[in-house]
Amino acid sequence: MISKRAQSVAPSETLKISAKAKELKRQGKSIVSLSAGEPDFNTPEHVCSAAIKAIKDGFHGYTMNTGTPELRNAISKKLKRDNDLNYDPSQIICSNGAKQSLGFSMLALLDPGDEAIIPAPYWVSYPEMAKLAGAKPVTVRTSFDANYKMTPQQLEEAITERTKVLVLCSPSNPTGACYSLKELKKLAEVLQDYPDIYIISDEIYEYIVFENEHAGILQAAPDLADRTLLINGFSKGFAMTGWRLGYMAGPQDVVDAVAKIQSQETSAPSSISQKAGEAAYTGDLTAVTYMREQFKKRRDFIVEELESIDGLKCFKPSGAFYVFPDISHYLGMKTHQGEEINSSTDLCMYLIEEQGLATVPGDAFGEPNGIRLSYASSMDELEEAMIRLRKGLLELA
Ligand code: PLP
Residues 354-390: tens digit of each pLDDT: 999 999 999 999 999 999 999 999 999 999 999 999 9
User: What pLDDT does 16 receive?
Assistant: 76
130 lines ligand 1 (CB under 6 A): no
Same-domain pairing of 182 and 327? no
Note the pLDDT tens digit of each residue in 56-114. Answer: 999 999 999 999 999 999 999 999 999 999 999 999 999 999 999 999 999 999 999 99
97 lines ligand 1 (CB under 6 A): yes
Listed in sequence order, the residues at least 6 apart from 336 whose beta carbon sits closer than 8 Å to its beta carbon are 395, 397
**Its pTM surpasses 0.95:** yes
Q: For residue 26, with 0-12 CB atoms within 10 Å meaning exposed, 13-18 middle and 19 or more buried, which class applies?
A: exposed
119 lines ligand 1 (CB under 6 A): no
Which protein residue's CA is at the shortest distance from atom 7 of ligand 1?
37
241 lines ligand 1 (CB under 6 A): yes
345 lines ligand 1 (CB under 6 A): no
Q: Residue 51 falls within a domain, yes or no?
A: no
- CB of 320 closer than 8 Å to CB of 176: yes
Rounded to an integer, the average pLDDT of 260-288 is 98
Say whether 320 sits in a helix, a strand or coil.
Answer: coil
ipTM for the predicted complex: 0.99
> What CATH number corresponds to the domain at position 245?
3.40.640.10
Same-domain pairing of 339 and 380? yes
Same-domain pairing of 272 and 356? no
Looking at 282, 312, 342, the residue that finishes a domain is 282
* Domain that residue 24 falls in: 4-30+287-394
> Beta strand 163-169 with 198-202: parallel, antiparallel or unpaired?
parallel
Same-domain pairing of 278 and 292? no
Looking at 221, 251, 282, the residue that finishes a domain is 282
241 CA from centroid of ligand 1 (Å): 8
- CB of 312 closer than 8 Å to CB of 306: yes
Query: Which one of 173, 205, 321 would you pick to mutate in the ligand 1 pocket, going by the greatest count of ligand atoms within 8 A of its CB?
Result: 173
Rounded to an integer, the average pLDDT of 212-220 is 95
392 lines ligand 1 (CB under 6 A): no
Q: Is the pLDDT of residue 43 over 90?
A: yes
173 CA from centroid of ligand 1 (Å): 9
Listed in sequence order, the residues at least 6 apart from 96 whose beta carbon sits closer than 8 Å to its beta carbon are 244, 245, 246, 266, 269, 270
Looking at 263, 282, 301, the residue that finishes a domain is 282
Q: Residue 172 falls within a domain, yes or no?
A: yes
Note the pLDDT tens digit of each residue in 115-159. Answer: 999 999 999 999 999 999 999 999 999 999 999 999 999 999 999
Distance (Å, whole) CA 267 – CA 255:
14
